[in-house]
Structure 1
Amino acid sequence: MKNVSIVDVAKKAGVSVTTVSRIINNVDYPIAAATKEKVLKAIDELQYTPNKAAQGLRKEFSDIIGLIVRDISDSYFGEIANGVTNRASELGYLSFVCNTGRNPEDELRYHDHLWQHRVKGIILAGGGLDQADYKQKLESQLSRHEKYGLKIVSLAPQGIEIPYVMINDFEAGKKVTEYLIKRGHTKIAFIGGPPKVFTSIERLSGFKSALEIAGIEYNKSYITKSDFSQKGGYEACRLLLSKVKDLTAICCANDNIAIGAMSAIRELGFSIPKDISVISIGDIRDARYTNPPLTTLTIPHYEMGQMAVDVITQWKEKVEITLNTSIFERESVRALNK
């Protein structure tokens, strides 16, 4: 069945296109009840759906910002969402938070929905996928957004050229690994995130780089993956410790993985940091309440969200901003060289 247009509706109802448009858009213009009834009947019979995108091109919804997150229950994304919504409200903008549940198809659908509603801009929170079809579709979305003046800002690597406000994930993985090496650790494991997510890829690459620079052999048996969740970290760590007996430290790709890993370590009868040190990336709120409190690399989630809103609402040029990070020392890492 071909796409039904407003012209088809007008022909079937025996009225002008302008009349149909006025009825669809509820324009304050005198139209006879009988005419309106004919148009509504034609719409129903033809199953016509107004094209929101086309309507949006004639209408500026410049007070709306869309935030696409992977998992709103994850405090990493929750803190970003707080920064976005609070800053947007301060500037007089409305913000929508779209939760994908880590489903890439839902993520791409949200791009369509937000574009159709002519939002001012879209903020992407969470790394993209290293999959050809996903990257191709995302590039297509980005091209369309730019064509019609809809701004987009990424807060994590996407594997394509895109304006961004984010940390350097390669340097993050490198920095936490170097922190352990400087404290005498050489038997260091790494629990990463999903292997196809660019955030995971970059952080693991940084880990490998730190080992290479220090002259420490890279051992694949010391590497395992999770899904960025506490449950995933717990399961990955149990699997890791069932295979590897001599490690002294674990780098985790994010704090949720670390929190789950710490639970597994204690459950298996090891002490943190006496037997195994743990370090991670993120510094979410829960990191300070683990047992012991977690040493982690800080990511300014809230400020990142705020800055992304500023970029969309106030910056004209294409933006590439890399934020500074630092390691917040708590009690989960032991120095072996003291």
Structure 2
Amino acid sequence: MAGPVTLSDVAREAGVSLATASRAINGSPTRTVGPELRARVLAAAERLRYSPDANAQAMARGRTTSVGLVVHDIADPYFSTIARGVAHAAGRAGLQVILASTEQDPSREVDIVGLLRRQRARAIVIAGSRYDDEGATTALRDALDGYMTSGGAAAVIGQPVLGTDAVHIANVEGARALARAVHERGYRDVAVLGGPTNHLTARERRDAFTAELAALGAPVPDERVLVGRFDHEGGGRAMTHLLESGERPQLVFAVNDVMALGALAAVRAAGLVVPDDLALAGFDDITTLRDVVPGLTTVRIPLEDVGAEAMRLVLEAGHGAPRVVEVPTHVVLRESTPSRT
């Protein structure tokens, strides 16, 4: 037989319709083929050396073998490490990951969920903080409701506000623990690079850190809490503004490590040195920190485990109430915050 063997060739060889051959080989979520007829089709396929298309099999059964992973920024090491955990867990389950980046645009999340629903992806994992935006939250929640109603499974890595299973990181506990740790090292004069005001993760970390310091008798003045983008550029700009204002606190806390790295670059550009001129701390413990000098004090999140846990949730998805898995964090003290006592 010239050319590749098709399913139509198998159907003709077995003396059955194309639909029957497809159900016998690929399966079907609604109709089955009797054992004798299925055996005849499979024998014909073997004689013709027909190789079924794995994607076609999955589509025939109602779902593909793909998992959609939606992140805010593909270049951020925070998300790339989560993606590695998702990909490893998906691979062990025989699934493949489709990665999509929203570039911090909430409307893109809705569009991507709609696309994955049309493509009949088996599951969707959305990684990234939610925003204080009721309209955007409602729109995404509705899109995910429609996807899950059609048979898909979904989980979010972040705040559990979308009606799905969620992996929630202990931001509040981690920020409070960091505040206690730097206070014990003698830091009293502190500034915070707090990220955007409507970013829930930034808010959780910022507010918990400043509340704990206030409880310890070292409140952070409002003018020492700077807002800005939740990225390298945002950290750099906020630190530059702080230094140009004439302020030089004992310690600066950036609410994520990428912002802290931007702040470190700004300190060096100003001709200053961490930790000699001021101390610096971040949050996340991204892999990039392995190459940073001095070593950055931070709050460690097991990011790869977070991705794997989100995959576990979607693979074991049921029909009960949404589950929330809390992921603990812990402080890692390094050279960027030496003891002052």
Q: TM-score, normalised by structure 2?
A: 0.78
Does 1:273 find its partner at 2:275? yes
Q: Deviations over 1:271-310 (max 9, x none)?
A: 2112211111111111121121111111111111111111
Does 1:260 find its partner at 2:259? no
Structure-2 residue corresponding to 1:21? none
Does 1:66 find its partner at 2:68? yes
SS of residue matched to 1:133: helix
SS of residue matched to 2:94: coil
Q: Tell me: CA distance 1:189–1:143, structure 2 relative to 1, closer, same or farther (3 Å).
A: same
SS of residue matched to 2:283: strand
CA distance in 2, matches of 1:58, 1:135: 33
Deviation at 1:57, TM superposition (A): 10
Deviation at 1:58, TM superposition (A): 8.2
CA distance in 2, matches of 1:147, 1:57: 17
Supply the AA of the counterpart residue of 1:76.
Answer: Y
Q: Is the 8 A contact 2:191 2:225 kept in 1?
A: yes
CA distance in 2, matches of 1:173, 1:244: 27
Supply the AA of the counterpart residue of 1:229.
Answer: D
Supply the AA of the counterpart residue of 2:75.
Answer: S
Question: Which of 68, 72, 89 is the equivalent residue of 1:87?
Answer: 89
Q: Is the 8 A contact 1:226 1:257 kept in 2?
A: no
Q: Deviations over 1:62-110 (max 9, x none)?
A: 5221110011111111111111112101111121111111111111100
Runs (5+) with no aligned partner, structure 2: 1-16, 20-57
Supply the AA of the counterpart residue of 2:324.
Answer: E
Does 1:321 find its partner at 2:328? no
SS of residue matched to 1:336: coil
Structure-1 residue corresponding to 2:131? 129
241-250 or 75-84, which moves further after superposition?
241-250
Question: Which of 180, 183, 197 is the equivalent residue of 2:199?
Answer: 197
Deviation at 1:315, TM superposition (A): 4.5
CA distance in 1, matches of 2:225, 2:116: 39
CA RMSD of aligned residues (A): 2.1
Does 1:332 find its partner at 2:329? no
Structure-1 residue corresponding to 2:167? 165
Runs of 4+ displaced beyond 6 Å: none
Q: Is the 8 A contact 2:173 2:329 kept in 1?
A: no
Deviation at 1:111, TM superposition (A): 0.9
Q: Is the 8 A contact 2:256 2:282 kept in 1?
A: yes
Q: Tell me: CA distance 1:97–1:268, structure 2 relative to 1, closer, same or farther (3 Å).
A: same
Q: Is the 8 A contact 2:236 2:266 kept in 1?
A: yes
CA distance in 1, matches of 2:161, 2:185: 34
SS of residue matched to 1:139: helix
CA distance in 2, matches of 1:110, 1:288: 33
Structure-2 residue corresponding to 1:303? 305
CA distance in 1, matches of 2:311, 2:64: 13
Q: Is the 8 A contact 1:221 1:244 kept in 2?
A: no
Number of aligned residues: 285
Supply the AA of the counterpart residue of 1:333.
Answer: T
68-77 or 313-322, which moves further after superposition?
313-322
Alignment of 1:141-290 (within 5 A): 141-157=143-159, 159-290=161-292
Q: TM-score, normalised by structure 1?
A: 0.79
Q: Is the 8 A contact 2:211 2:219 kept in 1?
A: no
Supply the AA of the counterpart residue of 2:118.
Answer: Q
Q: Is the 8 A contact 2:78 2:284 kept in 1?
A: yes
Question: Which of 115, 140, 143 is the equivalent residue of 1:113?
Answer: 115
Runs (5+) with no aligned partner, structure 1: 1-26, 30-55
Supply the AA of the counterpart residue of 2:282.
Answer: S
SS of residue matched to 1:81: helix
